[in-house]
Amino acid sequence: MHVVVGLGNPGRRYAWTRHNAGVLVVERLGRRWSIPTTADHHGSRVGNGAIGHERVILALPQSFMNRSGAPVASLLGYYKRPVEDLVVVHDDLDLPFGAVRVKRGGGHRGHNGLRDIIQHVGADFNRVRVGIGRPPDGWDPADFVLGRWTDEERAALDDVIDLAADAVEAILHDGVDAAVSQFQQSPAGGVAHRSQHNPGHP
């Protein structure tokens, strides 16, 4: 069983900001596989179900981004899962908008949600990185990630979220090494296109 966590900030104010890309992806997985994330459990909104033949916990921490570590650690402890079974989906400034990458382990590269999770459970978890691009010159990165998507980004966002959801499914069904290889050629910029991976979701 895997625990799949979508990072973001709680509340309507942040729902359509770039920093909540991870939340959008996990919510998309929940709709694909009929796993509503509606139960309040260990500081997260949680859904329990299956993606293909793999049992999963979908989780959306209800703490703010920089306090993501405690609810994630609590869920891993409750379900008795090792950190290797954790998949964290998050926005990434270092990837152009539309790019999706998979990796295992590594640092936080200034991402406060990852920083806090690493402090609580260590770094050896799987990540799905959703590219949001760099801010324009003179724009503070903190303001950029908390800003809303542009009209152009919103037009392409559905495909980006689908691609990232496909990446999570690839980790669950094919393993992280295969998923890393599969998604290293996802678009380097601009509009994302639908992945060829399809494990037979409804």
pLDDT in tens, 46-65: 999 999 999 999 999 999 99
Which tokens hold the place of 2?
């895997």
Q: What is the pLDDT of residues 155-181, one digit of tens each?
A: 999 999 999 999 999 999 999 999 999
Position 37 confidence tier, pLDDT thresholds 50, 70, 90: very high
Cβ atoms of residues 24 and 90 within 8 Å: no
Task: Tell me the CATH class for 2-183.
Answer: alpha beta
- Sorted by sequence, the CB contacts under 8 Å of residue 202 that are 6+ apart come out as 32, 33, 34
Could you tell me the end-to-end alpha-carbon distance of the chain, in angstroms, rounded to an integer? 20
* Strand pairing category for 44-51 and 39-41: antiparallel
Q: How far apart are CA 165 and CA 32, in angstroms?
A: 9
pLDDT of 188 reads 45
Kind and range of the H or E run holding 47: strand 44-51
Residue holding tokens 């959703």? 130
| SS3 call for 33 | coil
Quote the pTM value.
0.90
Position 192 confidence tier, pLDDT thresholds 50, 70, 90: very low
Q: What is the pLDDT of residues 89-144, one digit of tens each?
A: 999 999 999 999 999 998 888 898 999 999 999 999 999 999 999 888 888 888 89
Q: How far apart are CA 179 and CA 176, in angstroms?
A: 5
Of the candidates 19, 41, 42, 111, the residue annotated as catalytic is: 19
Verify whether residue 19 is a known catalytic residue: yes
* Strand pairing category for 2-6 and 54-61: parallel
Burial class, 40, CB count within 10 angstroms (exposed 0-12 / middle 13-18 / buried 19+): exposed
Alpha helices in the chain (DSSP H): 21-32, 69-79, 112-121, 141-145, 151-174, 176-183
Position 184 confidence tier, pLDDT thresholds 50, 70, 90: confident
Q: What is the pLDDT of residues 11-33, one digit of tens each?
A: 989 989 999 999 999 999 999 99
pLDDT of 124 reads 95
The pLDDT of residue 201 is above 80: no
For the chain, give every domain's residue range.
2-183
